[in-house]
Amino acid sequence: MTVHRAPDTTSPSTDADSAPGADGWDADSSASVPRDGLPSLPDAPAQHASADADAALAAELERLRRENLYRARRVLEGPQGVRPVIDGRGMLSFCSNDYLGLAAHPVLADALREGVARYGVGSGAAHLISGHSEAHRQLELDLADFTGRPRALLFSTGYMANLGVISALCARGEHVYADRLNHASLNDGARLAGARLKRYPHRDVAALERMSAGPGASMIITDGVFSMDGDIAPLPELARVAQAAGARLMVDDAHGLGVVGRAGRGTLDLLRMDDLQVPILVGTLGKAFGTFGAFVAGSEALIETLIQRARSYIYTTALPPAVAHATSAALALAVREEWRREHLHRLIARFRHGAAALDLPLMESHTPIQPLLAGDSLVALEWSLFLENNGVLVSAIRPPTVPKGAARLRITLSAAHHEQDIDRLLELLGRLPRRRGRVPRANGGPMT
Q: Which residues carry out catalysis?
A: 227, 255, 287
- d(C-alpha 206, C-alpha 225), whole Å: 20
Q: Under DSSP, is residue 86 helix (H, G, I), strand (E, B) or coil?
A: strand
Identify which of 228, 222, 267, 235 has the alpha carbon closest to the alpha carbon of residue 6: 228
Sheet holding 151-155, edge to edge: 151-155, 294-298, 280-284, 248-252, 217-223, 175-179, 196-200
Q: Under DSSP, is residue 180 helix (H, G, I), strand (E, B) or coil?
A: coil
Secondary structure (DSSP) of 329-379: HHHHHHHH-HHHHHHHHHHHHHHHHHHHHTT--BBS--SSEEEEEEESHHH
CA 34, chain centre distance (Å): 42
Q: Under DSSP, is residue 55 helix (H, G, I), strand (E, B) or coil?
A: helix
Residue 390, judged by CB atoms within 10 A of its CB (0-12, 13-18, 19+), counts as middle
Question: CA angle 275-280-283, nearest 5°?
Answer: 105
CA atoms within 13 A on the CB side of 178: 27
